[in-house]
Structure 1
Amino acid sequence: MKADISNFEDIVLFVDSFYSKVKEDELIGPIFDAVITDWNPHLAKMYDFWNAVLFGIAGFKGNPFARHAPLPLEKPHFERWLILFNQTIDEHFSGEMADETKKKAGMMAEMFLSKLSHMKGGSDRVIV
């Protein structure tokens, strides 16, 4: 049985593992590569982001939506992001917090896609 997500080290594990998949992905990898030249600051920001989201630990600063709004993102990108994210969580963890992490990621993807679609005058929903 896999352990549940319980601390910052677990966040580092899933963030690093997830973004290694993202970098290799033919659909979403190029979008990230176009805007991230040094992955270390991005990964550190993601550790802080998920630490705040999951454990309420202060430290994340930024506006994630504003960073994503100018990117050429559409429904398939969010669906792929969620597939890779959920696969990563399932590979490493099992339990209530792992399930909650996947749920929060799904809600974020849905919200981002909804806001982006609204900005472009349309409506789209993530189906995963």
Structure 2
Amino acid sequence: MKDIEGLDDIKLFVDEFYQKVRDDDFIGPIFMNAIADWGPHLQKMYAFWNAALFGVPGFRGNPFAKHAPLGIQPPHFDRWLQLFDETINHNFEGIMAEDAKNRAQMMAVMFMKRLAALGGDAHKVVY
């Protein structure tokens, strides 16, 4: 296996990961109810991961604000991370693959801390 080397690899893992998410009985319904058109969402995720892993400009958005109103709890984050790690491990190995998994873990922890600070009230989110 090779490492994540650029946008083509990002598209591969993002597409595979979000297919797993959609098919998942636990977190799939949350995402399916929140995302009407997957095309634009996937484009944003390509740009997000390209910026996160390679510093390529182009991502605009506030991921936390989009996720806060969804009622996501720690078990949902655990499942999200499990699917993400499975996807990366199935396709890649190396420094960037580990970096992607670490970044996903850090995002999940940060989101959970911010959600806990809101006391479960997503309407307190500052956009």
Q: TM-score by structure 1 length?
A: 0.92
Per the alignment, residue 117 of structure 2 pairs with 118
In 1: Cα distance, 2:7 partner to 2:84 partner: 17
In 1: Cα distance, 2:58 partner to 2:39 partner: 16
Per-residue deviation, 1:118 = 1.1
Per the alignment, residue 68 of structure 2 pairs with 69
* DSSP 3-state at the match of 1:69: helix
In 1: Cα distance, 2:61 partner to 2:42 partner: 14
1:2-23 superposed Cα distances (whole Å, 9 cap, x missing partner)? 0000110000000000000000
Per-residue deviation, 1:120 = 1.2
Per-residue deviation, 1:70 = 0.7
What is the count of residue pairs matched by the alignment?
Answer: 120
Matched-pair identity in % = 57
In 2: Cα distance, 1:46 partner to 1:95 partner: 21
* DSSP 3-state at the match of 2:13: helix
Per-residue deviation, 1:71 = 0.8
Structure 1: stretches of 5+ with no match in the other structure: 122-128
What are the residue-to-residue correspondences of 1:95-110 with 2, within 5 Å?
A: 95-110=94-109
* DSSP 3-state at the match of 2:69: coil
In 2: Cα distance, 1:15 partner to 1:120 partner: 31
**AA aligned opposite 2:56:** I
Structure 2: stretches of 5+ with no match in the other structure: 121-127
